[in-house]
Amino acid sequence: MSEAKMTTDHTKIRRWAEKRGGIPASVRGTSDGDPGVLRLDFEPKDQELEKIGWDEFFRKFDQKKLAFLYQDRTDDGHISRFHKFVDRVEAAAD
């Protein structure tokens, strides 16, 4: 199985997402004047997600102390879109 990596580096996260056609988004109905639950949206677009800007995305990412768990390639060598947002404190303790 391909190994997952973890980062909090904004540039790495943005490059990873954009290389795969991903855009920053939040789940509709989860915000109270802030970005809400963060996601990356890929084609085909998810109607439950609302596009937000990268600045807003990373502001929430840092505020919630998240880390980005991701995979570059699948076991068979294809570009992977596997990713997950995790608590950076809990992830560092594992």
pLDDT digits (tens, 9 = 90+) for 20-56: 999 999 987 766 666 678 999 999 999 999 999 999 9
Instruction: Give CA–CA dist 54/35, Å, rounded.
Output: 11
Number of domains in the chain: 1
Instruction: Give CA–CA dist 90/92, Å, rounded.
Output: 5
Q: What is the pLDDT of residue 34?
A: 64
Q: Partners of 20 in the beta sheet?
A: none
Q: Partners of 25 in the beta sheet?
A: 39, 51
Q: What is the pLDDT of residue 37?
A: 87
The range of the structural domain enclosing residue 37 comes to: 5-93
pTM above 0.95, yes or no: no
Q: What is the pLDDT of residue 94?
A: 60
